[in-house]
Chains A and B, each alone.
Chain A
Amino acid sequence: MTAVANGSAADRARAPRVVIVTGVSRFLGATIAARIAADPQVHKVVGVDRADPPDELAPLLRDVAVRRVDLTEGASSLVKLGAEALVHLAVMSSPDAEGGGRAAMKDQNVIGTLQLLAACQQMPSLRRLVVRSSTAAYGVSFRDPAVFTEDTEPRDVPRGGYARDILDIESYVRGFRRRRPEVTTTVLRFAPFIGPQADTALLKFLARPAVPTVLGRDPRLQFIHVDDALEILRRSVLEDHQGTFNVAGPGTLTLSQAVRRSGRIAVPVLEPAMHAAASFRRGVAGLSLDQVDLFVHGRVVDTARLVREYGFTPRSTADAFDDFVRAQKPGAVITPALVAATEQRMLDMIRSVRETRGRAGR
């Protein structure tokens, strides 16, 4: 069995028979586990998470063998499963208030990945490793180029916890690549997820009626639609794509533009005040240093390598954002209809004033 695993090119390209997916207690992990399980070439999908999946995800996981494993305690129980591919999605982008806050998040992200990769090293059958990373890997600096390609090295260590975790995770993956060069290792640097179902800290923040922004800054944002992220993940497991890829919707929206498109109101705040609010233990108003960094610097990546390798172009950032806005309608303060009505009212008013004046003049 193991001898076959690293054989000919045709063999490399075939779909894996046994796949492990971590992080199946959350939407992304559960959905991708279900999609892979639905592929006829895949015999078995094992879903792993430290908590049991919530009830609403249970229907998705019908064909997935769910196991409760706390990766921070070690992942040796996964070694004997004969997995040919492993998808690591148990990476948290923001602290979970009930789940132990930032300390638990860092444990899960950094120690969890460390333990998982140690277990991967002992899996002779493993041919493919897919790791969730983030465009936060580029760090933040005023000397950064406007558009990051996969080869851009971070200049400064970012302030945000998630971005720091991502740098650690990628360094562990680099180590794994050196030790197991025959395993196809795919690192996917995702832009922030967006979509009608997506429920991240950043999106909750953007869904508020009044969105705090940094005074004097209008960062360029980029998003990836969850459906496109799932498609890229699916292809990464079933096909062979060695390397690191930016996964983002082409194009950009500025924060002010995004706030306007969703009918919200921007509330500019001085950067030091924003920084102070985010530095509190829980973060005031759900704000984190990751977001302050993003709201000062913005982040746009080049997706040419992704499009070339996968032959798939994710929908643009603007389209993905509009899909999110459609689902968020109730919270809008300034709707397009309201703006259009006001415009019409002003035009009518000017006309009526000028007509009465014209009559008086004659």
Chain B
Amino acid sequence: MTVPEVDDEFDERVAAGLAFVRQRLSGQYQVDEFGFDAELTDQVFQPVLRQLYRRWFRTEVIDVKNLPADGGALVVGNHSGTVALDALMLSVACHDEHPAHRHLRLLGADFVFRMPFVSELARKSGATLACNPDVERLLEAEELVGVFPEGFKGVGKHFVDRYKLQRFGRGGFVSAALRTGKPIVPVAIVGAEEIYPLLGNIKPLARLIGAPYFPVTPTFPWLGPLGMVPLPSKWLIRFGEPIDTTPYADAADDPAVVFNLADQVRETIQTMLHETLELRPDPFAP
């Protein structure tokens, strides 16, 4: 009795899949001015990342209500894990866990856009260069923008320094939020520190391939490609209360105000990190 129904569902899926392929092959889809391909992201990138997010890292989200339902906002998080998987998982969290299914527009270093393939994937998944004109443009277009002000200092830090926030630079991200009057949402990501515990950095090799660092972890490069499999740590992503930037609107060009506000955001994330860590005593808990 149920067999025909299952068949129909199968048929529908095949038909939908083929229709998707036809649309892609004939170029009938939209790409925004930053190169963001929403259809490709929803149909291809997100489903792959979702497996990693749910099954591998068993990610849980706390206080997703702090993420605005609409309008531009700057999501600021801690960066870690040798490879920037935390940025990708944060984008899954914003899309899957938030009722409005918002796309997080990530900001990447120029290194990302220098590399072939990586640059292509980054742009198609909605990322752009971390520079103020781009951030302000995205925020004015009411997008959710994700930034990790620690940059390489965060992702490439030693395992013993885990969950210690690094310097935040000059706080260019804050001035972009001030100029556009959009709120800053601090985010603490727990779990990314344990995926590739960084024990060393082979600097000559890094220089050779033009990378910011060449990581040595308990499994990489010893196990070859197998060493690239991230350890299955337990992840918690916690969204903090939005920080209203409108009171400082006139101070976007005042380096002291910008620096202090950046420092305040940093302190908030550090406190949130400590609190969230206590909720997860075992890094590899189920």
Contact = CB atoms under 8 A, between A and B. Distances in A.
A347 B124 contact: no
B26 A147 contact: no
A265 B212 CA distance: 36
A340 B22 CA distance: 7
A334 B114 CA distance: 32
Contact of A142 (B24, B26, B32, B113): B113
B18 interface: yes
A6 interface: no
B11 A351 contact: yes
Interface stretch (A38-46, A101-109, A225-233, A246-254): A246-254
Interface stretch (A90-98, A111-119, A212-220): A212-220
Nearest to B138: A146
A328 to B, nearest CB: 14
Given A251-B33, A254-B31, A257-B27, A146 B129 contact: yes
| In the complex, the 6 A-B pairs of residues with the closest C-beta atoms, listed nearest first | A216-B116, A260-B27, A261-B27, A216-B117, A145-B133, A257-B27
Interface of B: 7, 11, 14-15, 18-19, 21-22, 24-29, 31-35, 37, 110, 113-117, 119-120, 123-124, 128-129, 131, 133-134, 137
Contacts, number: 91
Given A252-B32, A261-B26, A336-B26, 11 more contacts: A142-B129, A145-B129, A146-B128, A152-B133, A217-B120, A218-B123, A220-B123, A254-B31, A260-B25, A340-B22, A350-B14
Categorize the interface residue count of chain A: 35 or more
Contacts of B21: 343
Nearest to B112: A142
Given A220-B35, A252-B31, A147 B137 contact: yes
B34 A147 contact: yes
Interface of A: 142-147, 149, 152, 214-218, 220, 251-254, 256-261, 271, 298, 300, 334, 336, 339-340, 343, 346-347, 350-351, 354, 358
Contacts of B120: 216-218
Given A217-B116, A217-B120, A271-B116, A146 B34 contact: yes
B19 A343 contact: yes
B133 A253 contact: no
Given A343-B21, A350-B14, A147 B116 contact: no
Given A217-B120, A218-B120, A339 B22 contact: yes
A343 B34 CA distance: 31
Nearest to A147: B33
A253 B30 CA distance: 8
B27 A347 contact: no
A143 B133 contact: no
Given A147-B137, A260-B27, A218 B124 contact: yes
B198 to A, nearest CB: 26
A119 B119 CA distance: 47
Contacts of B124: 218
A159 B118 CA distance: 23
A147 B35 CA distance: 10
Nearest to B117: A216
Given A347-B18, A351-B11, A300 B33 contact: yes
A346 B18 CA distance: 9
Contacts of B128: 146
